Amino acid sequence: MGCQASDERKPNKKNRSRRPEGHCDIQVLQFDDKVDITDIELPGMGGNREGIACRTKQGKTFLPGQQNSYKVLKEYGITKVFLKREKAEEMAGEIQVLIDEKEAEKKEIEHEIEAGNSFDPKKGVVVRDIQNIISDFQRVLGCIQDGNNNHSNEENDSFDNDNFEDERREGDDWENTPIPIQKYRIEGYIRKHNKDMADAYNEDGRLRLILNNSKHIKIIEELLDNLDGYILPDCSTLGIELVGYNSDKAYELLSNHFPKKVKHFWFKNLEPEEDITRYWSILESINSQGIYQLVLSKFHVPTDILGKIFGCFSQVKFLTFWYCTLEGQEVEISNQIEFKIEHIIFKNCGEPAKSDWNNHPQHLWGIIEAIGKSNLKNSLKSCRFKNDPEVEITLNNIQEIFESNGMADVKVYEAIYGNED
C-alpha cells in the first residue's frame, strides 16, 4: 500500500476509509440552471406509463418511474438527480422495456412517413421527441450500469494491457474500503472555479493541478471539502505542479485521496530546483500500488532519499527523473524488496547544471551499481537516457557499466519522451 509517512503529518486513515452517507445512490442527471421536476404520464407508450419531466430553459429531459424513486440535491447552483440504489435493478429492467417500446413506435411512425404521399411535419416532430426520450433513457440506463459497476467494484479496465488487481479481496472490510468519487462530480467542482475545465481536467482522465494558480487552489479546496470518504477517480495522468507553493494542500489531497490507479503521476517542483526532502512526507504517504509511471521533475535528490524512492515506488513499471540533480555515488537500494520496475528514464539529469556526469560520473555509476546489488536487477529491462549534447558519457559507456555489474540483459538506449510505454 505504499510507504508510511515518517513525520507527524500522517494521513487520517479514519477519514480516508469512511464511506460517505448516500454513496450508494446513482446520479443520473445534472442541471446547471433552474429545473422544474414533475411527475407525468409518458406520451404515446400504450397503457399508462409513469415518468418524470425535468424542464429547464434548454428543454425537457425525461426519466422513468416516479419522483419517490429519486433524490434531488441542489448545491452551488447545480441540481443533481440521483436514483435510489434500491430502485436500480428494477428500474434498469423497466427502462430497457421502455426503450424497446419507443424504438418500435418510432419505426412504425417512420414507416408511415415513408409510405405517405406527403410529409406530415407533426409526425416528424413526434419522431424527434421519441428519439429524445430514447436517448434520455439510454443515458440513465448507462448511469445505472456504471453505478452498479462502481458499487461492486468489478472494474475490468486496465492500462495498456497491464492488469491492476483490485485491492479489495474476499475477507476484506468492503464497507471501509474507500471508493472513487464519480468523474461528473470532479467536473462540477472544477467548473465552479474554472470555466475552462480542460485547463485542469479532461474526459480522458487527466487531472493537472498547479499549486501557484489561484483557480487550481480553489479546486483543490473544493475537492478537500467534498472528498471525505472518497478517493479521486482513476487518472490517465495526475499532475501536481509547482508543489512548493502549497505543499500542505498537496499533502492532504494525495495522502488521503490518491486514486486507485494512475497511469502517469507527475510530481513537479519549482524552478530552480529544491531539495526533494522537503516534500518526502507527501510522496511516502501515497498509495503507490496502482501507479504505472512516476515522474519526478526538477528536484535535487540527495542520496538517502534516492534510495527511498526506489523502495517506496518499487511497484511502478516506469520510474522517471526529469531535469533532476541526483546524488547517486553512495546510494543504497534495499535487497529485501521484490521490484516490478521495468524501465528507468533519466531525462537531462546529467548535464553540467544538474548532476554533471562529465565531472562526477560516480553519481550515475553509483546508481547502476546499487541496482546490481538489489533485486531490482531481476525486473529491470531498460534504462533510457536523454542528455544535453554537452554530456560526454555515451550510451555505450553506460551499457558497459550495466554489463560489468551483471546486467547484460538491461537495454540502454535514448529516451525521447517522459511518458514512454
Provide the residue ranges of all domains of the chain, joining segments of one domain with +. 20-152, 174-414
User: What is d(CA 406, CA 412) in angstroms, rounded to the nearest whole number?
Assistant: 14
Q: In the structure grid, which three cell numbers stand for residue 335, read together?
A: 535487497
> How many CB atoms neighbour CB 102 within 10 A?
22
What's residue 177's pLDDT? 58
Q: What is the pLDDT of residue 419?
A: 52
Q: What is the pLDDT of residues 344-387, one digit of tens each?
A: 999 999 999 899 999 999 999 999 999 999 999 999 999 999 88
229-239: pLDDT as tens digits: 788 888 889 99
Examine the pLDDT at 181 and tell me if it is beyond 70.
yes
Residue that wins the pLDDT comparison between 220 and 75: 220
| Among 352, 349, 359, 351, residue whose Cα is nearest residue 383 | 349
123 vs 4, which has greater pLDDT? 123
Q: How confident is the model at residue 125 (pLDDT cuts 50, 70, 90)?
A: confident
CA atoms of 421 and 412, how far apart (whole Å): 15
Q: Distance from first CA to last CA of the chain, Å, rounded?
A: 23
Greater confidence, 255 or 196? 255
Are 256 and 227 in contact, with CB atoms under 8 Å apart? yes
Assess contact for 400 and 274: CB atoms under 8 A: no
pTM for the model stands at 0.62
Residue with the larger pLDDT of the pair 42 and 46: 42
Question: Span 2-27, mean pLDDT?
Answer: 47
